[in-house]
Amino acid sequence: MAEDCIFCKIVNGDIPSRKVYEDDKVLAFDDINPMAPVHVIIIPKQHIPTLLDIDPDHADIMGDILSAVREVSAIKGIDQKGFRTVINCNEEGGQVIFHLHMHLLGGTRLRDDLG
Ligand code: AMP
Ligand code: ZN
């Protein structure tokens, strides 16, 4: 738990979210400002700031997140149609919240522009 981290507060229940999936390591919830008909944020419950902070102490976390992708895409009914996953890293990558998270986007034909 990091003080003043919005996603840690969601994990703790201090900030409400629309939960899509949860297990002991990972939480997934609807993005508050969706960029597609389906836009889910998947996070480790443990506070890890960025993709670059995954060290041997939490080496399994990407596997846990990818397992959640399988679950969430099925729950949302877009597993067969298709979807996109994105992890923004640091400022020029567009990261705004510094608690590692994967975006899962779908429910429409996604455009290919990268901004
Ligand atoms: P990023 O730019 O990769 O750091 O993405 C942060 C994402 O978190 C954005 O898509 C926001 O819309 C989303 N977000 C911010 N606050 C909340 C919240 N309270 N509940 C759900 N999603 C949020
Ligand atoms: Zn956090």
- Burial label, 109 (beta-carbon count in 10 A; 0-12, 13-18, 19+): exposed
2-34 pLDDT, tens digit each = 889 999 999 999 999 999 999 999 999 999 999
57-83 pLDDT, tens digit each = 888 999 999 999 999 999 999 999 999
Sign of CA dihedral 26, 84, 34, 3: positive
Report the alpha-carbon distance of residue 5 to residue 86 in Å, rounded: 20
Question: pLDDT class for 41, splitting at 50, 70, 90?
Answer: very high
CATH number of 6-106, picked from 3.40.50.300, 3.40.605.10, 3.30.428.10, 3.30.479.10: 3.30.428.10
Among protein residues, the one with the nearest Cα to ligand 1's atom 8 is 31
Contacts of 63 (CB under 8 A, 6+ apart): none
Which ligand 1 atom lies nearest to the CA of residue 101?
Answer: 3
Average pLDDT over residues 35-49: 98
Q: Is residue 101 annotated as part of the catalytic site, yes or no? A: yes
Q: Could you say which of 39, 99, 101, 103 is catalytic?
A: 101
**Taking a C-beta distance cutoff of 8 angstroms, is the pair 72, 21 a contact?**
yes
Kindly list the domain boundaries of the chain, sorted by start residue. Answer: 6-106
Which ligand 1 atom lies nearest to the CA of residue 10?
Answer: 19
Question: pLDDT class for 114, splitting at 50, 70, 90?
Answer: low
The residue type found at 112 is D
